[in-house]
Structure 1
Amino acid sequence: MKNIIALALVALAVSGCNTISGMGRDVQKVGQVITGAGGK
């Protein structure tokens, strides 16, 4: 059971690199929109 959980976490970490990178760009874009809206 522990092996399955460890394998799932490793697979998630490896496959999630691109997802996390994309999410970071999305969050950055939202921050830019909020900052722009506050300046008007």
Structure 2
Amino acid sequence: MDRNKTGFLGTFWKCARIGERKSPYVAACCVFMAFTILFLT
């Protein structure tokens, strides 16, 4: 997948790199959003 850094498949490559590097922050946001949806609505 690393050879597809450009073009349409490059979008997926970039999203995968962002997901790898930001996963703790993304996980925290998901937990926070789940909490607000379940308990504050």
TM-score between the two structures when normalised by the length of structure 2: 0.49
More helix by share: 1
Compare relative contact order (CA 8 Å, sep 6+) and give the higher one, 1 or 2.
Answer: 2
